[in-house]
């Protein structure tokens, strides 16, 4: 079946931005990952994460700020990222965390490290995490402190986006299927936060979902222990925050 043409306009992104302002949690998670990444939050440096936006979203941003510009790939991996983009998307980059403008963050910035998880039955049941960042993103190992308000704003934003642009929905149908394949290969369950912020666990082979328990909250290295974390920060030449790995 052909995907209906997108009707999304720059002004739609302006309203989406207004409804998506809640921080992921009340803690400043950048304090935990920056020491592993030359002092920059991992999700704010294109060495790690290249923000991908709808071309229409960039059209809006250009009218509001000079924070963003078109991303120029600099190596094989970044060339691949750009080559694989669909025709209505593009990669952009900002001037860096010190110049961040809260109101001019992209949907991708606001939602990181989460994506909309869609079941095989095409139900949008919650948010999953971009697993390739699990070794650098402290937040992904601390899902129990994600605010329910953030999840509900995330869900409302993507639901509105899917109505205007069916290709976005198709993208996450495919991405969620990739998540099931990857976790299945790893023989691991997929952690999600349900639409009310509750932990859910997906069995990747069957796609079945059950409620998560405390022990199911994921922890990835080096966020598994204070010792692991301190060693990783030391190796990266960073400085451990005074409270260590604990939320603060």
Binding site residues, ligand SF4, CB under 6 A: 29-30, 32-33, 41-44, 51, 94, 97, 100, 105, 109, 112-113, 137-139
Q: In terms of CB distance, is 17 or 169 closer to ligand SF4?
A: 17
- Which of 204, 3, 211, 183 lies closest to 120 in space, CA to CA? 204
Q: In terms of CB distance, is 34 or 209 closer to ligand SF4?
A: 34
Q: At a CB cut-off of 8 Å and minimum separation 6, what does 82 contact? A: 50, 71, 73, 91
Which three-class secondary structure state does DSSP give residue 1? coil
Give CA–CA dist 77/60, Å, rounded: 28
Placement of tokens 């990444």 in the chain: 37
The distance from CA 64 to its chain's CA centroid, rounded to whole angstroms, is 23
Q: At a CB cut-off of 8 Å and minimum separation 6, what does 45 contact? A: 37, 38, 96, 97
Q: In terms of CB distance, is 44 or 209 closer to ligand SF4?
A: 44
Q: In terms of CB distance, is 129 or 176 closer to ligand SF4?
A: 129
Q: How far is the CB of 126 from ligand SF4 (least distance, A)?
A: 17
Q: How far apart are the two ends of the chain, measured CA to CA in Å?
A: 49
Q: In terms of CB distance, is 58 or 169 closer to ligand SF4?
A: 58
Q: How far is the CB of 29 from ligand SF4 (least distance, A)?
A: 3
Q: How far is the CB of 209 from ligand SF4 (least distance, A)?
A: 24
Q: In terms of CB distance, is 65 or 119 closer to ligand SF4?
A: 65
Q: How far is the CB of 168 from ligand SF4 (least distance, A)?
A: 19
Q: In terms of CB distance, is 51 or 126 closer to ligand SF4?
A: 51
Please, which residues bridge with residue 116 across strands? Answer: 127
Q: How far is the CB of 42 from ligand SF4 (least distance, A)?
A: 4
Beta strands in 20-136 (DSSP E): 52-54, 68-70, 89-94, 114-118, 124-129
Please answer whether residues 56 and 8 qualify as being in contact, where contact means their C-beta atoms are separated by less than 8 angstroms: yes
Token output for 113: 């490290």
Please, which residues bridge with residue 118 across strands? Answer: 124
Q: How far is the CB of 226 from ligand SF4 (least distance, A)?
A: 16
Please state at what angle helix 166-186 crosses helix 148-164, rounded to 10 degrees.
130
Q: How far is the CB of 121 from ligand SF4 (least distance, A)?
A: 29
């Amino acid at each position: 079946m052909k995907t209906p043409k997108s009707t999304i306009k720059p002004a739609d992104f302006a309203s989406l931005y207004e409804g998506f302002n809640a921080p992921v949690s009340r803690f400043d998670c950048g304090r935990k990952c920056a020491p592993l990444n030359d002092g920059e939050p991992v999700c704010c440096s294109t060495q790690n994460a290249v923000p991908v936006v709808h071309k229409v979203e960039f059209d809006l941003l250009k009218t509001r700020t000079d924070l963003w510009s078109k991303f120029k790939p600099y190596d094989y991996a970044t060339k691949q990222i750009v080559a694989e983009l669909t025709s209505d998307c593009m990669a952009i980059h900002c001037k860096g965390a010190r110049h961040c403008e809260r109101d001019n963050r992209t949907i991708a910035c606001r939602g990181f490290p989460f994506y909309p998880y869609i079941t095989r039955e095409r139900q949008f049941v919650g948010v999953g995490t971009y697993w390739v960042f699990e070794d650098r993103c402290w937040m992904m190992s601390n899902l129990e402190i994600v605010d329910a308000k953030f999840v509900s704003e995330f869900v409302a934003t993507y639901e509105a986006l899917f109505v205007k642009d069916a290709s976005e929905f198709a993208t996450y149908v495919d991405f969620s299927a990739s998540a099931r394949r990857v976790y299945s290969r790893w023989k691991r369950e997929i952690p999600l936060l349900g639409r009310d912020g509750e932990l859910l666990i997906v069995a990747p082979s069957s796609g079945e979902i059950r409620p998560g328990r405390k022990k199911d909250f994921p922890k990835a290295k080096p966020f598994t222990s204070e010792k692991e974390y301190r060693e990783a920060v030391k190796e990266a030449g960073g400085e451990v925050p005074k409270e260590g790995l604990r939320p603060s």
